[in-house]
Chains A and B, each alone.
Chain A
Amino acid sequence: MEDDAPVIYGLEFQARALSPQTAETDAIRFLVGTQSLKYDNQIHIIDFDDENNIINKNVLLHQAGEIWHISASPADKGVLATCYSKTADSRVLRCAAVWRMPEESEPGSHESPDDSASTAHALELLCDLDHTAHGSTACVAWEPTGDGSRVVSLADNHILLWDLQASSRRAVLASSASLEGKGQLKFTSGRWSPHHNCTQVATANDTAVRGWDTRTMSQIYCIENAHGQLVRDLDFNPNKQYYLASCGDDCKVKFWDTRSVSEPVRTLEEHSHWVWNVRYNHSHDQLVLTGSSDSRVILSNMVSISSEPFGHLVDDDDLSDQEERRPEDRSQEPPQDGAIATYEEHEDSVYAVDWSAADPWLFASLSYDGRLVINRVPRALKYHILL
Chain B
Amino acid sequence: MAAAAAGPGPGSGPGDSPEGPEAEAPERRRKAHGMLKLYYGLSEGETAGRPAGSDPLDPTDLNGAHFDPEVYLDKLRRECPLAQLMDSETDMVRQIRALDSDMQTLVYENYNKFISATDTIRKMKNDFRKMEDEMDRLATNMAVITDFSARISATLQDRHERITKLAGVHALLRKLQFLFELPSRLTKCVELGAYGQAVRYQGRARAVLQQYQHLPSFRAIQDDCQVITARLAQQLRQRFREGGSGAPEQAECVELLLALGEPAEELCEEFLAHARGRLEEELRSLEAELGPSPPAPDVLEFTDHGGSGFVGGLCQVAAAYQELFAAQGPAGAHKLAAFARELGGRYFALVERRLAQEQGSGDNSLLVRALDRFHRRLQAPGALLAAAGLAEAATEIVERVARERLGHHLQGLRAAFLDCLTDVRQALAAPRLAGKEGPGLAELLANVASSVLSHIKASLASVHLFTAKEVSFSNKPYFRGEFCSQGVREGLIVGFIRSMCQTAQSFCDSPGEKGGATPPALLLLLSRLCLDYETATISYILTLTDEQFLVQDQSPVTPVSTLCAEARETARRLLTHYVKVQGLVISQMLRKSVETRDWLSTLEPRNVRAVMKRVVEDTTAIDVQVGLLYEEGVRKAQSSDSSKRTFSVYSSSRQQGRYAPSYTPSAPMDTNLLSNIQKLFSERIDVFSPVEFNKVSVLTGIIKISLKTLLECVRLRTFGRFGLQQVQVDCHFLQLYLWRFVADEELVHLLLDEVVASAALRCPDPVPMEPSVVEVICERG
A-B contact count (CB 8 A): 70
B589 shortest CB reach to chain A, Å:
13
Q: Which residue of B lies closest to A34 (CB)?
A: B668
Cβ of B762 under 8 Å from chain A: yes
For the complex, is B241 an interface residue (Cβ under 8 Å from A)? no
Interchain nearest-CB distance for B454 vs A (Å): 37
CB interface residues, B 645-694, toward A, < 8 Å: 663, 665, 667-669, 672, 675-676, 679-680, 684, 686-689
DSSP majority for the A interface? loop
Question: In the assembled complex, which residues on chain A have CB atoms less than 8 Å from the CB atom of B668?
Answer: 12-14, 36, 38-39
In the complex, how many angstroms separate the beta carbon of B687 from the nearest chain A beta carbon? 4
Name B511's closest neighbour in chain A (CB-CB). Answer: A225
A13 to B669, CA, bound (A): 8
| C-alpha gap A237/B669 in the complex (Å) | 39
Whether B672 contacts A369 by the Cβ 8 Å rule is: yes
A273 → chain B closest CB, angstroms: 4
Q: Which of B584, B665, B712 contacts A293 (CB 8 A)?
A: B712
Report whether B675 and A369 are in contact in the complex, using a CB–CB cutoff of 8 Å. Answer: yes
> What A residues does B672 contact at CB under 8 A?
10, 12, 369-370
B761 at the interface (CB under 8 A from A): yes
User: Which partner residue on chain A sits nearest B712 by CB separation?
Assistant: A293
A255 to chain B, nearest CB (A): 16
Bound form: Cα–Cα A344–B683 in Å? 13
Could you say which of B511, B601, B675 contacts A90, with CB atoms under 8 Å apart? B601
Residues of B close to A117: CB separation below 8 A: 665
Q: Which residues of the other chain, A, contact B216 by a CB distance below 8 angstroms?
A: none
Q: How near does chain B come to A218, taking the closest CB pair, in angstroms?
A: 27
Residues 340-356 of A, flagged 1 when their CB comes within 8 A of B and 0 if not, give 00001001110000000
Contact A14-B688, Cβ < 8 Å, known A92-B600, A228-B514, A368-B715: no
Does A325 belong to the interface (CB within 8 Å)?
Answer: no
Residues of A in contact, count (CB < 8 Å)? 33
Q: Is B462 positioned at the interface, with any CB of A under 8 Å from its CB? A: no
A174 and B584 CA atoms in complex are apart in Å by: 40
Closest approach, in angstroms, between the C-beta of A214 and any C-beta of chain B?
28
- The answer for the CA separation of A182 and B37 in the assembled complex, in Å, is 161
CB of B9 within 8 Å of the partner chain: no
B 743-761 binary contact with A (CB < 8 Å = 1; else 0): 0000000000000000001
| B720 at interface, CB cutoff 8 A | yes
| A225 CA to B515 CA, complexed, in Å | 11
A229 near B513: Cβ-Cβ < 8 Å: yes
Q: Which A residue's beta carbon lies closest to that of B599?
A: A92
Tell me which residues across on chain A come within 8 A of B676, comparing CB atoms.
Answer: 347, 369
The yes or no answer to B378 lying at the interface (CB within 8 A) is no
Q: In the complex, how many angstroms separate the beta carbon of A142 from the nearest chain B beta carbon?
A: 24
Please give the distance in Å from A106's CB to the nearest CB on chain B: 26
Q: For residue B758, which residue of chain A has the nearest CB? A: A368
Beta-carbon contact of A294 and B665 below 8 Å: no
In the complex, residue of chain B having the shortest beta-carbon distance to the beta carbon of A92: B718
Chain A residues closer than 8 Å to B329, beta-carbon distance: none
**In chain B, residues 683-717, which have Cβ atoms closer than 8 Å to a Cβ of chain A?**
684, 686-689, 708, 712, 715
Question: Is the CB–CB distance between B688 and A87 below 8 Å?
Answer: no
* Count class of interface residues, chain B: 20 to 34
Residue in B584, B669, B679, B764 whose CB lies within 8 Å of A38: B764
Q: How far, in Å, is A225 (CB) from chain B's closest CB?
A: 6
Q: Hey, which chain B residues are within 8 Å of A369, CB to CB?
A: 672, 675-676
Which one of A12, A207, A228, A250 has the highest number of Cβ atoms from chain B below 10 Å of its Cβ? A228
List chain A residues, Cβ under 8 A from B663: 38
Q: Does any Cβ of A come within 8 Å of B512's Cβ?
A: yes
Check: A83 CB closer than 8 A to any chain B CB.
no
- Is the CB of A91 closer than 8 A to any CB of chain B? yes
Q: Are A91 and B686 in contact (CB under 8 A)?
A: no
B522: interface (CB < 8 Å) = no
Contact call B511/A85, Cβ cutoff below 8 A: no
Report how far A12 CA is from B715 CA in the complex, Å: 17
The complex places the Cα of A219 from the Cα of B604 at a distance, in Å, of: 45
- Tell yes or no: B500 within 8 A of A by CB: no
Which B-chain residue is minimally distant from A186 (CB atoms)? B595
Contacts of A92 in B (CB 8 A): 600, 718
The answer to the question of A274 belonging to the interface, with a C-beta cut-off of 8 Å to chain B, is: yes
- Is the beta-carbon distance between B708 and A273 smaller than 8 angstroms? yes
Residue of A nearest to B663 (CB): A38
Give the residues in chain A near B513, CB-CB below 8 Å.
228-229, 250
| Residue pair A225, B512 in contact (C-beta under 8 Å) | yes
Distance between B508 CB and nearest chain A CB, rounded to angstroms: 11
Chain B residues, CB < 8 A from A348: 675, 679
Cβ of A207: which chain B residues have Cβ within 8 Å of it? 514
Contact A272 B688 (CB under 8 A): yes
A163 and B675 alpha carbons, distance in the complex (Å): 44
Q: Judging by beta carbons under 8 Å apart, are A37 and B712 in contact?
A: no
Q: A38-B764, A228-B514, A229-B584 are in contact. Are A272 and B712 (CB under 8 A)?
A: no
Q: Compute how far the CA of A98 lies from the CA of B502 in the bound complex, rounded to whole angstroms.
A: 54
Q: A307 near B: Cβ within 8 Å?
A: no
Q: A229-B584, A293-B708, A368-B715 are in contact. Are A90 and B720 (CB under 8 A)?
A: yes
Does B538 reach chain A (CB closer than 8 Å)?
Answer: no
Closest Cβ–Cβ distance, residue B723 to chain A (whole Å): 10
Nearest residue in A to B764 (C-beta to C-beta)? A37
Which chain B positions have C-beta within 8 A of A225?
Answer: 511-512, 514
Cβ of A189: which chain B residues have Cβ within 8 Å of it?
none
The residue of chain A having its C-beta at the shortest distance from the C-beta of B667 within the complex is A38
Chain B nearest Cβ from A207, distance in angstroms: 7
CB nearest to B588 among chain A residues:
A229
Residues from chain A with a CB closer than 8 A to the CB of B708 are 273, 293
Distance A228 CA – B513 CA, assembled complex (angstroms): 5
A38-B762 Cα distance, complex, nearest whole Å: 9
A272 B514 Cβ-Cβ under 8 A: no
For chain A, residues 223 to 257, give those with C-beta under 8 angstroms from any C-beta of chain B.
225, 228-229, 250-251
Interface members, chain B 260-310 (any A CB < 8 Å) = none
A251 to B684, CA, bound (A): 17
Q: Which residues of A contact B688 (CB under 8 A)?
A: 251, 272-273
A36 to B764, CA, bound (A): 8
Residues of B within 8 A of A229 (CB): 513-514, 584
B763 interface contact, C-beta 8 A? yes
Contacts of B764 in A (CB 8 A): 37-38, 87
Whether the Cβ atoms of B514 and A90 lie closer than 8 Å is no
**A254-296 vs B, Cβ < 8 Å mask (1 yes, 0 no):** 0000000000000000001110000000000000000001110
- Is B761 in contact with A14, judged by CB distance below 8 angstroms? yes
Within 8 A of B (CB), among A83-99: 85, 87, 90-92
For B602, the closest partner residue in chain A by CB is A90
Interface string of B502-532 (1 = CB under 8 A from A): 0000000001111000000000000000000
Among A36, A274, A294, the residue within 8 A (CB) of B686 is A294
A273–B687 touching, CB < 8 Å = yes
A37 contacts which chain B residues (CB < 8 A)?
718, 761-764
Distance between A33 CB and nearest chain B CB, rounded to angstroms: 15
- Which residue on B lies nearest to A225, using beta carbons? B511
CB neighbours (8 Å) of A272 from chain B are 686-689
Chain B residue nearest in CB terms to A117: B665
Give B510's nearest chain A residue, CB to CB.
A228
Q: Mark A83-124, 1 if CB is under 8 A from B, else 0.
A: 001010011100000000000000000000000010000000
Are the CB atoms of B712 and A274 closer together than 8 Å? yes
Q: What are the residues of chain B within 8 A of A251 when measuring CB–CB?
A: 688
Q: 5 A-B contacts, Cβ less than 8 Å apart?
A: A92-B600, A250-B513, A273-B688, A295-B684, A344-B684
**Contacts from B to A (Cβ < 8 Å):** 511-514, 584, 600-601, 663, 665, 667-669, 672, 675-676, 679-680, 684, 686-689, 708, 712, 715, 718, 720, 761-764
| 10 additional A-B residue pairs with CB within 8 Å, beyond A91-B601, A295-B684 | A39-B668, A87-B600, A92-B718, A228-B584, A251-B688, A294-B686, A294-B687, A347-B680, A348-B679, A349-B712
The 3 closest A-B pairs by CB, nearest first: A228-B513, A37-B764, A273-B687
A contact set with B: CB distance below 8 Å: 10, 12-14, 36-39, 85, 87, 90-92, 117, 207, 225, 228-229, 250-251, 272-274, 293-295, 344, 347-349, 368-370
